[in-house]
Amino acid sequence: MSNNHLSWDEYFMSVANLSSLRSKDPKTKVGACIVNERNHIVGVGYNGFPVGVSDKEFPWERDGDFLDTKYPYVVHAEQNAILNTHAGAYGCRIYTTNFPCHECAKYIIQAGIKEVIYMRENGADENSKAASKRMFEAAGVTVRKMDTVEVVVKRQEGLQL
Question: Would you name the residues annotated as active-site residues?
Answer: 78
Type of residue found at 29? K
Distance between the two ends of the chain, CA-based, in angstroms?
Answer: 36
In angstroms, what CA-CA distances link 85 with 28, 118, 135, 153?
A: 23, 19, 22, 25
- 141 close to 114: Cβ distance less than 8 angstroms: yes
- 59 close to 115: Cβ distance less than 8 angstroms: no
The C-alpha atoms of residue 102 and residue 111 are separated, in whole angstroms, by 14
